[in-house]
Structure 1
């Protein structure tokens, strides 16, 4: 077991006094501005724990280590007060909150992934509409696929799950001369226009040229894009999923894409990773990226700022940001 404990002390503090321990999935010596009120250990999902999980007061969950690794120490974290993910979604941790003591706050990474995910969303939309996958295959085979292709301009884009990522997507759509409509769990105003409630979705789908899914995965959104949802989309529409794979019914999507009625651009799939031989790989009109919406060079600086800010608030006893659940 490797101990990477940081043991800085506040001036005048009794060296024998026990201090709260923070489990970081980012190396603490690579993060500037960490408060000196804590001891830090580094654990990024390895088999061995760097310290006793029972001593952890604040736990930053490993990022992109699959659905199992991050939850592994939770049952032993008897004294933890905060669980901080570095992902926008918390569906890999929320089911395990029952293992934790009462009052543990679960926080997500709002503010970390908006820029990267919105960039990829725009990339998927433009690539799909403008025929980029066909051009790449044409280049591989020395074929020149000239002709007219759909543009994003003048299209109607429907963003389903309009939160901070949905708003970031809309920010990047603005220069492309398209119309944007927004759907969230409940209706509300937004700086760019009204946000419709989810029960209005059936009436909005038939007029959308592009439907973008940015909703978190919950019991309410699992299978949201099912056969009736997809059937309500207009002929030739594009479905873009940058949320979670299970938000879409894969079997229903395959039926629509294999018929040629809909196209799709997917950064997430169900199952995931998509296994060799799965029909989605070769479904007509389907573009797949390997769940890379948030994993870009923009991740680390934003993740570090989030962790430092949350730990400073925790040390000061002030309210944390991004609290999405409590045990």
Structure 2
């Protein structure tokens, strides 16, 4: 059995790592730290292009676990076909919920209360007073009710929203109320003042927010995307923004990074942040705790957490 563990952090910077394995530091550099064929546990570098994350996978003939440090795993999925059956792919549930939910509320509040306009007014020394929408009494629809979607609702509660509706891949019941299946999404859209996207990017969610989806949103509604850019059809969104029927707050875009000159930069009613839901001061301590827990489980041959899929299954 191979014993190499590839980490995007230096092992000496992480307290509590198990002994008995060889830790190799690799954060996406051109040179590999060792032979990928000897890697048993691969912690994927964080915030690197998909090509970087996938590059060693085809050579990892002995790998048993692939651990992302992101909630989404779409950036490594294309290369899983190179792996032998039985490799477990795990995501970073427990790492990003707090920071992504914080940003979601920040985007909602900034968009509703006109913060971008106030900043532009300050630059011009203009006093832009008046009435602005409040989050209180609004109806919110969360599309993608996993750990992040639930954390977003946790933070919505103190704001006295009128209603929270939840949508996920499958129907279920939570302590806060029902989670509706995706098949009911069309009927829920017209009732929502704010639609929050926190779903993973999959074949079923790619392009989910298309012209039909957007047309079913009520006039004046706010679309918030903290999921993945390709969940939204950018061309269809631009059409709705340019006619002023809805507004949007986007932490992710398609394409991403959004290139200079793209019309989305200057579309009316849009607030854009540069995919910063996860990279905050909250990331590092939570990521290290996850790796310590997972690697202790791995060394002790205990079940891993956050298993998204197993290759060949």
Q: Same fold (TM over 0.5)?
A: yes
The answer to whether residue 182 in structure 2 is matched with residue 198 in structure 1 is yes
Alpha-carbon deviations, 1:225-281, whole Å to 9, x = none? 000000000000000000000000000000000000000000000000000000000
Question: Which of 123, 139, 145 is residue 156 of structure 1 equivalent to?
Answer: 139
The answer to whether residue 11 in structure 2 is matched with residue 28 in structure 1 is yes
Question: Which residue of structure 2 aligns with residue 299 of structure 1?
Answer: 283
Question: Which residue of structure 2 aligns with residue 279 of structure 1?
Answer: 263
Q: How does 1:73-88 map to 2 (within 5 A)?
A: 73-88=56-71
Tell me the matched-pair count.
Answer: 310
Moved over 6 A (4+): none
The answer to whether residue 172 in structure 2 is matched with residue 181 in structure 1 is no
Question: Which of 196, 203, 226 is residue 242 of structure 1 equivalent to?
Answer: 226
Tell me, yes or no, if the aligned pair for 1:125 and 1:265 is still in contact at 8 Å. Answer: yes
Alpha-carbon deviations, 1:154-200, whole Å to 9, x = none? 00000001000000000000000002110001110011111011100
Alpha-carbon deviations, 1:96-124, whole Å to 9, x = none? 11111111110000000000000000000
Tell me, yes or no, if the aligned pair for 1:256 and 1:262 is still in contact at 8 Å. Answer: yes
Question: What is the CA-CA distance between 1:325 and the residue it aligns to?
Answer: 1.2
Question: What is the CA-CA distance between 1:127 and the residue it aligns to?
Answer: 0.2
Question: Which residue of structure 1 aligns with residue 24 of structure 2?
Answer: 41
CA distance in 2, matches of 1:59, 1:19: 12
Tell me, yes or no, if the aligned pair for 2:2 and 2:38 is still in contact at 8 Å. Answer: no
Tell me, yes or no, if the aligned pair for 1:19 and 1:37 is still in contact at 8 Å. Answer: no
Who wins on radius of gyration, i.e. which is larger?
1
Provide the aligned C-alpha RMSD in A.
Answer: 0.7
The answer to whether residue 301 in structure 2 is matched with residue 326 in structure 1 is no
Question: What is the CA-CA distance between 1:19 and the residue it aligns to?
Answer: 5.7
Q: Which segments of 5 or more consecutive residues in structure 2 lack a partner in the other structure?
A: none
Q: How does 1:2-81 map to 2 (within 5 A)?
A: 20-81=3-64
* TM-score of the pair, normalised by structure 1: 0.94
* TM-score of the pair, normalised by structure 2: 0.98
Q: Which segments of 5 or more consecutive residues in structure 1 lack a partner in the other structure?
A: 1-17
Secondary structure of 1:194's counterpart equals: strand
Tell me, yes or no, if the aligned pair for 2:2 and 2:40 is still in contact at 8 Å. Answer: no
CA distance in 1, matches of 2:87, 2:172: 30
Question: What is the CA-CA distance between 1:307 and the residue it aligns to?
Answer: 0.4
Secondary structure of 1:172's counterpart equals: helix
Q: How does 1:87-126 map to 2 (within 5 A)?
A: 87-126=70-109
Secondary structure of 2:89's counterpart equals: strand
Tell me, yes or no, if the aligned pair for 2:252 and 2:273 is still in contact at 8 Å. Answer: yes
CA distance in 2, matches of 1:43, 1:218: 27
Question: Which residue of structure 2 aligns with residue 139 of structure 1?
Answer: 122
Tell me, yes or no, if the aligned pair for 2:99 and 2:277 is still in contact at 8 Å. Answer: yes
CA distance in 2, matches of 1:58, 1:255: 45
Change (3 A) 1:19 1:255: closer
Question: What is the CA-CA distance between 1:314 and the residue it aligns to?
Answer: 0.6
Question: What is the CA-CA distance between 1:326 and the residue it aligns to?
Answer: 1.5
